[in-house]
Chains A and B, each alone.
Chain A
Amino acid sequence: MFALFNRLRPHGKGRTGLLGLAYVTPVIVIMGALVIIPLIATAWDSFYSVNPMKAGKPFVGLGNYTSLLADPNVRQSWSNTFLYVIFTVSMETIFGLAAALLLNRVKFGRSFLLAALILPWCLPPVVNAVVWGWIFNPSYGVLNNGLIALGVLEDNKVWFNDRVTALFMISVVHAWRMMPLTAIILLAALQSIPRDLYEAARLDGAGPIKMFRKVTLPLIGSGLAIALSQSTVFAFNLFDEAWILNGSGYDTRTVMIQVFMSAFQNLKFSYGMALSILAMLASIVVSAVYVLRVYRETRFE
């Protein structure tokens, strides 16, 4: 039965080549012109010193990259960003999977539940950060007021005074907004699992946990890989939430805020661009680790 889902080989050599190329031509043209060529241009610039306040464009080789390694602010932003990635990706994946399983199960009012699930993602990001800023506000926010009313807190707590708490709170805001993405990807994957597989497993005497491990998880493996990768990429690009909630504070500054400050505030353009390229490489490497692992672990026979 599972044999059907073995890797499906492409077939019909030769004749499909041209048609295949025709199908992917729009992909090549759009991605090539609007992403790949600009990327090459920026990567090229990152080996020069581009600063509009200085005349000329001297070649500096890896100079921008080596100064990035020595910059303490940049190092702090990397350490913050890795913590954001760990917090947000785990929150989004665990809650996203739970929400998808729940939606897959619920029969009554599902379309409204789905709409409710997606709502956070529809709120424009700026409004999102402002609403949360209002909730977290140390002197008149609903979080402090609520916790005091419940007797959990005695006094107003300034949530962003402690680094790890601040990173966690910002991660919550980001995860709140991005979790629906993970849930939708996983829900679509869950929907494509044929019901009779569960029946077959049940006849084999499998309990719910075994069924989840043996049937569900392998079959949503590729969905999980996609969801993990995109949440990682979004976490590496975290900007709005940290910027609006805590400005340029060292404790919460992300790599992308550092890129923005270097390139657009301080006008050290190629320095900022070199950092953005490192951020890209880091998120590719981290995503590749998951993707390979997920594909390996969910190979099923």
Chain B
Amino acid sequence: MSARLMKKALMRAGLAFAVLLLLFWSLGPIYWSLVTSLTPPNDLVSSELRLWPDTLTWEHYAKLFGATSISQGNEVQSVWPQFSRAFLNSIVTALAATLVTVAIAAFGAYAFVRFRFPGRDTLFFVVVATMAIPAYTVMIPLYRLMIAMKLIDTYTGVIFIYVSAFLPLALWLMRSVYQAIPISLEEAAYLDGAGRTHTLIKIVLPLSTPGLIAAALLTFLNAWGQFMVPLVFSPTLATKPLTVLIPEFVTRNYVDYGLMNAAGIIAIVPPILLVIFLNRFLVSGLMAGSGK
């Protein structure tokens, strides 16, 4: 009896320790980024370990949100107009790419699992294999194409490039999700006279929610961190995202570490809100009905 209690307590302790370890691993560097963003430039270099700045400063955040700022001893315009615009661009492109990718993957993957058409498996293999193509390999031809279609510096252009980059992973993921769903459920609906598309939307998709959410998260976060694509295809603030704006805080002769870290800390807020919001769909007991 007591041995069992001991075992349980030990298990709990082990679990708690694992949670702490995970938190330290994930949050440690983020915490350091936060500390750097709150440290005055003067105190950044220190040969002793300091876990919290001696003097706290909000100046880097003030530069991001304020009206003016100081650069190399001179008062210049604030970066807020650029920052807010790039922030918006990041959100718009990542969200739109996510919606389009997940929609196409939801239908496409279903066809790859349940329908039979010529060249199906080859097509699937080719699409998944494109994951391995480095961005540099296709950049120049893609650039020519985008110019010809007048899609440079447009949301449409960037979004479709993102979709083409992240669709293979989403398709593969959704295919494995559909494969795990017992076919009997669909057959029942199908025998009841529901159409294929209707069955997919009404029966299969709800059962696949965790998979859909995982695919959406993967796409959103991959798009959020994209750098090469917008660098080339988003020349101006009309579509330029945060990832391309932030390196501008590194001038050739002066790196504004505080400002970069402040911008990075702000940049993690939207994805985190999204994760917290989507979490209950990702980790939910929806599978209860499928395991019979």
Residues of B115-166 at the interface with A, using a CB-CB cut-off of 8 Å, are 115-118, 120, 123, 126-142, 145, 160-161, 163-165
Query: How many Å lie between the Cα of A264 and that of B143 in the bound state?
Result: 15
Query: Which residues of the partner chain A approach B115 to less than 8 Å between Cβ atoms?
Result: 10, 12, 16-17, 19-20, 23
Counting CB contacts under 8 A, is B30 at the interface?
yes
Q: Which of A23, A38, A240 has the most chain B CB atoms closer than 10 A to its own CB?
A: A23
Is the Cβ of A284 less than 8 Å from the Cβ of B136?
A: no
Counting CB contacts under 8 A, is A158 at the interface?
no
Q: Mark B273-292, 1 if CB is under 8 A from A, else 0.
A: 00110011011100110111
Residues of A81-133 at the interface with B, using a CB-CB cut-off of 8 Å, are 95, 98-99, 102-106, 110-128, 130-132
Query: Which residues of the partner chain A approach B36 to less than 8 Å between Cβ atoms?
Result: 131, 134
Query: Which residues of the partner chain B approach A236 to less than 8 Å between Cβ atoms?
Result: 132, 134
Counting CB contacts under 8 A, is A216 at the interface?
no
- CB within 8 Å for A120 and B22 given contacts A16-B196, A127-B263, A196-B291: no
Query: How many Å lie between the Cα of A158 and that of B138 in the bound state?
Result: 38
Is the Cβ of B211 less than 8 Å from the Cβ of A188?
A: yes
Counting CB contacts under 8 A, is A289 at the interface?
no
Counting CB contacts under 8 A, is B84 at the interface?
no
Closest to B140 in A: A42
Q: Which of A31, A118, A120, A260 contacts B130 (CB 8 A)?
A: A31
Query: How many Å lie between the Cα of A258 and that of B113 in the bound state?
Result: 40
Query: Which residues of the partner chain A approach B132 to less than 8 Å between Cβ atoms?
Result: 233, 236, 280-281, 283-284, 287
Counting CB contacts under 8 A, is B48 at the interface?
yes
Q: Which of B49, B141, B179, B246 contacts A37 (CB 8 A)?
A: B141
Query: How many Å lie between the Cα of A118 and that of B179 in the bound state?
Result: 27
Closest to A4 in B: B182
Is the Cβ of A192 less than 8 Å from the Cβ of B225?
A: no
- CB within 8 Å for A38 and B141 given contacts A27-B127, A99-B22: yes
Counting CB contacts under 8 A, is A230 at the interface?
yes
15 new A-B contacts at CB < 8 Å, known A17-B115, A31-B167, A236-B134? A8-B114, A11-B183, A23-B111, A27-B127, A27-B167, A31-B126, A37-B145, A122-B267, A127-B267, A128-B29, A145-B47, A230-B169, A276-B137, A283-B132, A284-B129
Q: Can you list 9 A-B contacts (CB < 8 A)?
A: A42-B140, A122-B225, A124-B246, A130-B260, A134-B257, A191-B284, A192-B210, A237-B134, A280-B134
What residues make up the interface of A, taking CB atoms closer than 8 Å to B? 4-5, 8, 10-13, 16-21, 23-24, 26-28, 30-31, 33-39, 41-42, 95, 98-99, 102-106, 110-128, 130-132, 134-135, 139-140, 142, 145-146, 148-149, 176, 180-181, 184-185, 187-189, 191-197, 219, 222-223, 226, 229-230, 233, 236-237, 240, 256, 259-260, 263-264, 269, 272-273, 276-277, 279-281, 283-284, 287
The 8 closest A-B pairs by CB, nearest first: A194-B291, A20-B115, A127-B264, A38-B141, A23-B111, A188-B214, A34-B164, A111-B279
